[in-house]
Amino acid sequence: MRVYLIAGELSGDILGAGLMQALKHHHADIEFRGIGGPRMQAQGLDSLYPLETLSVMGFVEVLKHLPRLIKVRRHLKRDALAWQPDIMVGIDAPDFNIGLERQLHDHGIRTAHYVSPSVWAWRQGRVKTIAKAVDGMLTFLPFEADFYADHRVPVAYVGHPLADEMPLINDRAAARNALGLAPEVPTLAVLPGSRSNEIRFQGEMFLRAASALRQRLGALQVAIPAASPERHRELEALLEQFPDLAGETLIVEGRSREVMTAADAVLLTSGTAALETMLCHRPMVVAYRMAPATYWLAQRLVKTRWISLPNLIAQETLVPELIQEAATPESLVETLLPWFEDDSRRLDLERRFSGLHAELQRGASERAATAVTSLAEHGTLDVQPESV
């Protein structure tokens, strides 16, 4: 069996390596070719370009690199048509991969896309292009699968790799001990974002809320994971403006899941961090402020009732979302307080999150491999039974 794989960034390399390892369980004799990083190459991928070849962020940067990207895609198309794989799987990187999938599909090569773009939230018209490009879409989340099914795109819901990776039972006390936090003091995890501009918009507001929350509760320790050394320095400089918090706040580089697990509640921006917090089974408040022009545009483009993944997965408001003008230090304090003052409410939500975690924990790599094999061999997207 021959499988052509294209991954465009580190997360895709991790997913691709898991898929390749699972595919080997189905086929003793299998070859892989395309683009991937060190993990995929360790699984046997013959990578034609470095992983970072497709890692271009931002509209201006994409325009700057567009001639090179077009040249790469043309080369990959010629190479794939010459190699004649049984299937081509694009892993994320939709702006690059879906175009290549369409070209190969038009030449009779079966194609699949692993990791749905957020087509359900904005630019929904892309689903028509996707329908012409792929024989199957592999999704992490159930509501994504429902969207594609509604639009008659063949789809397989495989579960989320993060849910497989993270344990169904976690230990708050052990996490606090590992971080050097006091075991009995109420604990707030603060995640203002992984980018500098997110810290600029959210950081001060989040720390003001933490300071006011500490006054209301009488005692509070704060833990903040920094995504990089640069973010660590920015957060330390910001904390200097809050001397009342300085002695009660721990900033650590990385270790975000430990920080989430150690907390009674988490204050964060939306994104993957909200999903990770849910998989740590911790109550949270999602808050986000952005530049006014960006918010104006987002209001007109985004077509979803919620922005946080826990709410989208549950299809109900489990997580408070405070966006733009609704996000103030005062509103954050009032929204966070119940998670500290009402133990039964907090425990109920933690149990609900544990149940959602179990639903997502399906063995995503193995289910994706089953779907890819079925698609390559039979043209249908069969997956394993629901249990793993």
Helix (H/G/I), strand (E/B), else coil: 323: strand
Per-residue pLDDT at 146 exceeds 70:
yes
The whole-number pLDDT of residue 93 equals 86
CATH topology agreement for domains 2-159+362-377 and 172-360: yes
Helix (H/G/I), strand (E/B), else coil: 138: strand
Pick the CATH number of 2-159+362-377 from 1.10.3720.10, 3.30.360.10, 3.40.50.300, 3.40.50.2000: 3.40.50.2000
Average pLDDT over residues 56-61: 46
Better-scored residue on pLDDT, 119 or 43? 43
Average pLDDT over residues 288-310: 72
Using one digit for the tens of pLDDT, what is the confidence trace for 229-275? 988 999 999 999 999 998 899 999 989 999 999 999 999 987 788 99
* pLDDT more than 90, % of the chain: 69
The whole-number pLDDT of residue 303 equals 67
pTM of the model: 0.81
Per-residue pLDDT at 61 exceeds 60:
no
* pLDDT more than 70, % of the chain: 91
The whole-number pLDDT of residue 274 equals 92
The whole-number pLDDT of residue 124 equals 72
Residue 229's Cβ-count burial label (10 Å; 0-12, 13-18, 19+) is exposed
The whole-number pLDDT of residue 63 equals 59
Average pLDDT over residues 32-55: 91
The type of residue at 264 is D
The type of residue at 98 is I
The whole-number pLDDT of residue 76 equals 96
Interior/surface letters 126-143, b for 16+ CB within 10 angstroms, e for the rest: bbebbeebbbbbbbbbbe
111 with 133: CB under 8 angstroms?
Answer: yes
The whole-number pLDDT of residue 366 equals 95
The whole-number pLDDT of residue 155 equals 95
Domain extents in the chain: 2-159+362-377, 172-360
Residue with tokens 């271009």: 56
Per-residue pLDDT at 361 exceeds 80:
yes
The whole-number pLDDT of residue 60 equals 43
Residue with tokens 């249908």: 380
Per-residue pLDDT at 300 exceeds 70:
no
**Residue partners of 38: CB distance under 8 A and separation at least 6:** 13, 51
33 with 2: CB under 8 angstroms?
Answer: yes
Per-residue pLDDT at 129 exceeds 50:
yes
Please state, in angstroms and as integers, the Cα–Cα distance from residue 22 to each residue in 13, 25, 360, following that order.
14, 5, 18
26 with 373: CB under 8 angstroms?
Answer: yes
Per-residue pLDDT at 386 exceeds 50:
no
Helix (H/G/I), strand (E/B), else coil: 90: strand
pLDDT band of residue 117 (cuts 50, 70, 90) is confident
155 with 136: CB under 8 angstroms?
Answer: yes
DSSP string for 271-295: SHHHHHHHHTT--EEEEE---HHHH
321 with 309: CB under 8 angstroms?
Answer: no
Distance of CA 136 to the CA centre of its chain: 21
Task: Tell which CATH architecture fits domain 172-360.
Answer: 3-Layer(aba) Sandwich (3.40)
Lowest mean pLDDT of 55-59, 97-101, 210-214, 364-368, name the range.
55-59
19-20-21 Cα angle (round to 5)? 95
325 with 292: CB under 8 angstroms?
Answer: no
Interior/surface letters 169-180, b for 16+ CB within 10 angstroms, e for the rest: ebebeebbeebe
The whole-number pLDDT of residue 317 equals 92
Using one digit for the tens of pLDDT, what is the confidence trace for 186-210? 999 999 887 777 787 788 999 999 9
